[in-house]
Structure 1
């Protein structure tokens, strides 16, 4: 069975969307998405970036993130046809470890704990395919990498892209996926 490695943040969970919504409520303004090249944090005003990072580091932030559209339905089907692992570089935000595990169990209960790897580096994973929003995670991957589109990687070239989970279904599944339940 072929193995797919799937990132969590900005691929199946939406921390950027959550942060933007919070920022709009708190400050009545939106970050500048055109400045998000390399990191979505730099789209926020410079005087608020440390606060954004502190919020990312705080317990509970990763627990209640929005789910990326169609990801639940597509991953449920992928899990039937592939060996799927959710791999998230969680050590940068140690408070996120339990939050991420609990979030995954809430939204993707069809995965077992053995299919989840919360790590400091994705260099240790192997598989046939990897879907990630960061090139740094795809560079050393020995299988076929796919860059999941996010504002911070719009200028990146040299990778096949997946723009949303319906496109992922078209690539990896033999039958179409109906609408999302999340």
Structure 2
């Protein structure tokens, strides 16, 4: 089976970076619970929104993002049993391509560079399964579309859902040889 896996909010915790940088810049702490069904840029004061929107455009934003819990071990197990590709829309933000490549080298070195797809439009992807946190990516995929839970998509009901990587272990029957 060919399984395509998104990076941000599926493998890498970009929400943590948004919250960290916002606290650094404005001294205000938001929690992930406060982001239920939305993104940080929509709940901060209007005057702060341009700054928040620029975070992902800055060097260092995608570098050393925290891992989503259990992503390494479960993706390794998936990779041992299936054809796994990492598919990230890394073209929108100037520094993300290099930083995402380096991040994968550090945390997922078992995913060969030939199985890393950095694109701008995920409608070109072909595979059996796409695991992604955005409905707009899942809606253009012709295979099995699985939404990985993230704070911003918690109100989305149109897709099969994985809430965490432990559920993926069960869904893909990774505990059996």
In structure 1, C-alpha distance between the alignment counterparts of 2:38 and 2:122, rounded to whole Å: 18
Offset at residue 153 of structure 1 (A): 0.8
> CA 1:60 to 1:21, structure 2 compared with 1: closer, same or farther past 3 Å?
closer
Residue aligned with 1:63, SS: coil
In structure 1, C-alpha distance between the alignment counterparts of 2:14 and 2:175, rounded to whole Å: 30
Please give the root-mean-square deviation of Cα atoms over the aligned residues, in Å. Answer: 1.8
1:47 maps to: 47
Residue aligned with 1:130, SS: strand
In structure 2, C-alpha distance between the alignment counterparts of 1:45 and 1:162, rounded to whole Å: 32
> Aligned ranges for residues 117-156 of structure 1 at < 5 Å?
117-156=117-156
TM-score by length of 1: 0.89
In structure 2, C-alpha distance between the alignment counterparts of 1:60 and 1:77, rounded to whole Å: 29
Q: Confirm or deny: 8 A CA contact 2:78 2:174 kept in the other structure.
A: no
Offset at residue 59 of structure 1 (A): 1.4
Q: Confirm or deny: 8 A CA contact 1:78 1:173 kept in the other structure.
A: no
TM-score by length of 2: 0.91
2:23 maps to: 24
Residue aligned with 1:61, SS: coil
Residue aligned with 1:86, SS: strand
Unaligned runs of 5+ in 1: 177-182
1:8 maps to: 7
